[in-house]
Chains A and B, each alone.
Chain A
């Protein structure tokens, strides 16, 4: 039951950033754009992940297809793509490209680019959250130490980008609106980071319980 709730809360968070009043305001205001970005790229992935969609798919599929899916998940490609370092690069590297090149201006001129960018933000956010927390089914596991290191660097790059934005805004944004947006990105990001870090540490706490056989990573 709680998985339903998480999933629908995630859908609502993503939906709120894409349609409705917030999305409309985001076209003209950078602060609202950034609020939507936090919902779509950070909060929605965290909620959706706790709906454990992959576990559900694996259980629901007929054996033959489930085997095929599991072969795919175990493949070399997924091993590389789902490595925490790659998902972090995909997620935060994408953000640097969005805000530090002309892509941000381009995005507001073309619907196609707009759609692609937003799909990327949601998916990259999801992949990153998944590769750090492992809440859902995970084929390729990495040590807590490695994931903690990636987490620190990734969250740092989010903070760095927020400060760079504060100093140098993309074209066509007023200073006060842009600086407010950068502050929202920094401190709003902190709040969701906090949830992410607590969940990550809690998973360590559970995994290292005394008397529990250490799981092969």
Chain B
């Protein structure tokens, strides 16, 4: 009987840990998309609403990515609220997940969106490669920082 109880407790703990991860990743994706929108579209105006050169598939991919990012940011926060009311927030691990989500999104945007679907470029009328390189390196750095932080969060917990 006791082992059955233990099994259920373990199962719940696993589920809540997964929820910490997904909440962080979704919020990371959404906030990165938001930062991209505010800094590069609105403030710097390096790339715009629509550059009139984007192929149709690019417009579609971009629309899907943007609307997913909106839902992800808000959904991630509501999942965090749900974890709080269950007293199951693991803040370090959550922040690590946010970094992984944000870095992953930045890389995806830089490689798939900009290069494969050619939705738009980081900047126009300049030598492009330094911009592409720093864009993707920044994404990779966030992703790697997230992975290391997640590892350390796990070690602290088991120690």
- The residues of A with any CB-CB pair to B shorter than 8 Å are 148, 151-153, 155-160, 163-164, 166-167, 183, 186, 190, 193-194, 197-198, 201-202, 204-205, 208-210
Contacts and interface: CB of A to CB of B under 8 A. Distances in A.
Contacts of B67: 151-153, 155-156, 158-159, 193
B66 A167 contact: no
Residue of B59, B60, B67 with most partner-chain A CB within 10 A: B67
B71 A186 contact: no
B71 A197 contact: yes
Contacts of A160: 59-60, 63
Contact of B78 (A156, A190, A204): A204
Given A156-B63, A160-B60, A205 B82 contact: yes
Contacts of B63: 156-160, 163
Contacts, number: 66
Nearest to A197: B74
Contacts of B59: 160, 163-164
Interface of B: 49-50, 52, 54, 59-60, 62-64, 66-68, 70-71, 74-75, 77-78, 81-82, 85-86
B49 A198 contact: no
Given A156-B66, A160-B60, A205-B78, A151 B50 contact: no
A197 B52 CA distance: 29
Contact of A148 (B66, B71, B82, B85): B71
B71 to A, nearest CB: 5
A190 B38 CA distance: 14
B35 to A, nearest CB: 16
A21 to B, nearest CB: 28
Contacts of A190: 70
Contacts of B66: 156, 159
Most buried by B among A152, A194, A208: A152
A189 B52 CA distance: 21
